[in-house]
Structure 1
Amino acid sequence: MNNTQSATNSHPNWRFLVPLACQALLILAIPARAVYTSVTGETVVLQTVPVDPYDFLRGYYQTLRYDISRQENLDKLPGWDELPIQRNGDYTYLEEGTRFYVIMEAPENSTATVNQPPPWKPVAVSLNHPDNLPENQIALEGEYRYGWIDYGLERYYMPEDRREEINADIRQVNLKPGEQRAFVVEVKVDRFGDSVPVSLWVESRNYRF
């Protein structure tokens, strides 16, 4: 009798623990995926759009956009016509939430310049993950959202003391003659198209995330 009662009383614990364990696994899967991408991924350099130092580092997070965040920089590439497109008069745009892959190609001369490493260039897009790419190419997954193409590489966190240091560097660079300058970001991209940020280059200075 006591054994039966003990077994019966244990069931509520299992009903509570199993969902809790599933939630814990889901939470752990996110950083585990990032670790996998960091360890196995290939280093890719992305060109940012010009940075406004007064907007870049506000609050605890900073936001960056890339050349490949803009539809107009991709819509002439091979494969674009295969993506789901909506039309509004003369204007065409991707359907909201469309996920696709941008094929990035390494520069012919990948040696870092005096200031910073050269960025990779987009050469094609694909609705499905492409197989058998050349060694100098890799597929980066993006999603069209609210007029931009997001790659999960747009928001970064740095301690306050680092934000102030980077802001000072960006302001110093923008004081030089010429237009507002863009910077490059190093990311890791794995074989599935997932990516994680690694570092930001401000001219010759490199800041790791």
Structure 2
Amino acid sequence: MKMNNVKTRSRKRWLIILTAAQILFLSGIVGYHYSALWFGQEVRLATTPVDPRDILYGDYVILNYEISELDSGLWRSPGDLPAEGDKVYVVLEPQTTDNGLYKAKAFYSRKPAAEGREIIIKGRVRYPTDSGIFINYGLEKYYVPENTGKQLEDQEGALVVQVRIAPWGNALIEEIKPAN
């Protein structure tokens, strides 16, 4: 009888440990994703909206950022340009105008140190071209309230996306608004 109690307690203990480990793991994933909101620096990026509707998911906007297409002259790491799927770090700097927007200054295969008001954002190469590369930052799709996607698309390039970029390069969209 004592052996059964010991086995039952041991199983319960392992079940509790495994459940707690799963909860901690999932909480860590969520925390890592949203940590850009807590620790990130605010950046404004110019974008063009495209394609506002999906039958299954509702209204969303695909955003094409100015920093999504980078000229090969901005490549600062040794060797060839990165290939499709490679991770890259893009250095953003404020534009010289007073509009508060950031633009790409350079991109690297490894995270460089930021200087002054520069910010580093992490992305993946979507595909290379003859003159440069296209990069995804995980900010390209933004869901909007129903029946508002067409209004954003009609802005025709006059949108500014406010994002938060964490010190390690992850980014999240905070807000999309018309450029003024």
In structure 2, what residue type is equivalent to 1:95? A
Contact persistence 2:42–2:165 (CA under 8 A)? yes
Higher strand share: 2
1:138 to 95, 101, 119: 119
Partner of 2:168: 192
2:143 to 144, 157, 174: 157
Partner of 2:73: 76
Describe the SS at the equivalent of 2:31. Answer: helix
Counterpart CA distance in 2 for 1:18 and 1:186 is: 41
Partner of 1:27: 26
Change (3 A) 1:16 1:97: farther
Describe the SS at the equivalent of 1:188. Answer: strand
Matched residue pairs, number?
172
Partner of 1:119: 101
TM-score (norm 2): 0.80
Contact persistence 1:186–1:200 (CA under 8 A)? yes
2:89 to 98, 101, 113: 101
Change (3 A) 1:10 1:83: farther
In structure 2, what residue type is equivalent to 1:168? Q
Q: 1:182 Cα shift? A: 4.2
Describe the SS at the equivalent of 2:64. Answer: coil
Partner of 2:52: 56
Change (3 A) 1:15 1:141: same
TM-score (norm 1): 0.70
Q: 1:107 Cα shift? A: 2.4
Higher helix share: 1
Contact persistence 1:68–1:74 (CA under 8 A)? no
Change (3 A) 1:126 1:165: same
Partner of 2:131: none
Q: 1:203 Cα shift? A: 3.3
Provide runs of 4+ in structure 1 moved above 4 Å. Answer: none
Describe the SS at the equivalent of 2:72. Answer: coil
Contact persistence 2:42–2:162 (CA under 8 A)? yes
Change (3 A) 1:101 1:6: same
Describe the SS at the equivalent of 1:22. Answer: helix
Contact persistence 2:46–2:66 (CA under 8 A)? yes
Counterpart CA distance in 2 for 1:32 and 1:7 is: 37
Counterpart CA distance in 2 for 1:5 and 1:33 is: 42
The CA RMSD over aligned residues, in Å, is 2.5
Contact persistence 1:57–1:63 (CA under 8 A)? no
Counterpart CA distance in 1 for 2:6 and 2:135 is: 54
Change (3 A) 1:65 1:25: farther
Describe the SS at the equivalent of 1:82. Answer: coil
